[in-house]
Amino acid sequence: MNFKKTLAGTTAVLFSALLIAACSGNQPHEGGSQVLRILNWEDYIYLNDPENGYEAKDLVDQFENFIMDTEGIEVDVVYDTFDTNETMLNSLQTGKSVYDLVCPSDYTIQKMIANDMLEPLDDAAANIPNYETFASPYLKSIFDNLEATNGVTQEVHSVSEYAVGYMWGTFGILYNPTYATFADRGLSSDDVMSDMEDWNSLWNVDYKDTISVKDSMRDTYSVGIMRVYDEEIRTLQDTYLDEAKAEYDPALYNAQLTDIFNRSDAETVAAVKEELLKLKENIYGFENDSGKQDIVTGKIGINLAWSGDAVYAMDQADEETETELYYNMPETGGNIWFDGWVMPKSDSLNKELAQKFLNFVSDPVNAAQNMDYIGYSSFIGGEDINTLVHEWYDVREDEWETPIDEWKLANDITDDYIAYDLTYFFGDTVDTETIIYIEEDSVGRQLYAQYPEADMIPRLSLMRDFGDNNRYILAMWEEFKASSLPGWAIALIVVGVLAVAGVGGFFLYRKNLAKKNRSARRQQAASSRR
């Protein structure tokens, strides 16, 4: 696979371009061209990159050419990038930027609806037919059921009324089962692989100083939630996910899991804080975008990672160190996330052209280009995406024509193959079978990161906007991040300082620590995407 970078960007909004766009609005240029202003995550669209094997024009250029060829209209796309949902939202709310299309994350879309910031989509079936036809039915149903209340009108709206899905993924555990430190501590690779089936294992002293954690409040909070409510979740699983029981109901289980996953009252936040502070004793460090490189180079053995980053790291480890990394969503479940396109309200909104762009990027051909370049999984299905999956992974080509046992015998193959069902994702967006056969030892690798196994789907929950309760979580996060040093290290430093410099040295230490704490709080907003 050809993966370049993940969406985590470091480039802020390009304000010079913003000023140009704001001044020009959507008035036609001399010569009759139209302007489309787009704000997206960095490296989150197909770019011309010959050094990495990408020769075709950027997808933005392709869109401009497509409109000219089909409608004879000259289009000038002003394309800028942002680094966090929060900086993007603040820029829009303060009026510093004006765009026709923006690509925020799921919870931010909810916020924007609540703040009456978005223009609803016109008839999607007529104006964005590619999306209506090829968007994954599984993902689209989540958008349909995700709601937000407009704070001005007090009307409840589905996210689908305002957003077109773009990319999606999960948050899980990326790990190296053969990491040397694990072996030194008496852990076999099988031990590690078994432990990574359970979020609780992260608290095990065997993994002390081997774990990097995302500098991301929401994602880290989700891990704490799974810890605090582990017993309740397991009881629900035993009740609703056991096919032998009359209460078997995966949909009901997911609904109740989602309720747990979004608890944000003061009592829950306090309990999560307590568990995360315990976890902190095992943490090597916090990271924005360095975790995937750190695990490849052997600095750490475990990285709490977004699925696209996990795929990138697995590819890199395969190529550079011949080390097999694995990605896992523990059996109790975890976080699923989405990024989607929305149209911020403005007097100069070019709504018609914006929706044409949404239809263009939702074409499976173009979605496959994006997916191949970005590394995250597209919201779009269709044959082109299915073909890409087959090209990336060692999938037997005649899988639907010959029974697996006959195929193995005819081709003198002894490796174990398993059926991997992707029907939940593709649904009726393809005409071919959606069950593929892969080597059993590839489970937990790249394909699993991009497309979780079918039985994992009920165990994935979307973390919604916390609304007013966000203040509890933010306060917790600031306290959790306040010191990057474990308690024993701080105590040791204090003793040393006092021994050398007396009380005066102690006060100097306190002053420096306070400065560090303030800096840590300022840096909280720099999490790469959440």
Q: pTM (2 decimals)?
A: 0.83
Return d(Cα 208, Cα 182) in angstroms, integer: 10
Do the strands 211-214 and 283-287 form a parallel or antiparallel pair, or are they unpaired?
A: parallel
Cα(418)–Cα(400) distance, rounded to whole angstroms?
A: 13
Exposure b/e, 25-40, CB count within 10 A at least 16 = b: ebeeeeeeebbbbbbb
Sign, CA torsion 21/159/384/126: negative
Please state whether beta strands 283-287 and 302-306 pair in parallel, antiparallel, or not at all (unpaired).
unpaired
Place of tokens 């890199």: 316
Taking each helix axis from N to C terminus, what angle separates 217-228 and 470-481, rounded to the nearest 10 degrees?
100
Give me the helices (H) in 25-145, please.
Answer: 59-71, 85-93, 106-114, 124-127, 129-134, 137-145
- DSSP one-letter code for 277: H
% residues pLDDT > 90 (the chain): 70
Give the integer Cα–Cα distance in Å for 181 and 123.
57
The Cα-based distances of 263 to 44, 106, 384, 504 in angstroms read 31, 17, 39, 45
CA angle 406, 408, 411 (to 5 degrees): 105
Please tell me the chain's helix, strand, coil percentages from 3-state DSSP, rounded to the nearest 5.
50, 15, 30
Report the chain (530 residues): mean pLDDT per 10 consecutive residues.
33 38 45 88 86 76 95 95 93 90 97 96 92 97 94 95 97 97 97 97 97 93 97 96 95 96 95 96 92 95 95 94 95 95 96 98 96 93 93 67 70 75 95 82 90 95 92 92 56 42 37 32 34
Rounded CA separation 162/446 (Å): 32
Q: What is the pLDDT of residue 401?
A: 63
Amino acid code (one letter) for 192:
V
Closest by alpha carbon to 233, among 107, 336, 334? 334
How do 147-149 and 164-175 pair as beta strands?
A: unpaired
In this predicted structure, what is the pLDDT of residue 436? 82
Kindly report the backbone phi and psi dihedral angles of residue 160, in degrees, each rounded to the nearest multiple of 5, phi listed first: -60, -20
Residue 130 token pair:
């590619």
Q: Which residue do the tokens 């790249």 mark? A: 446
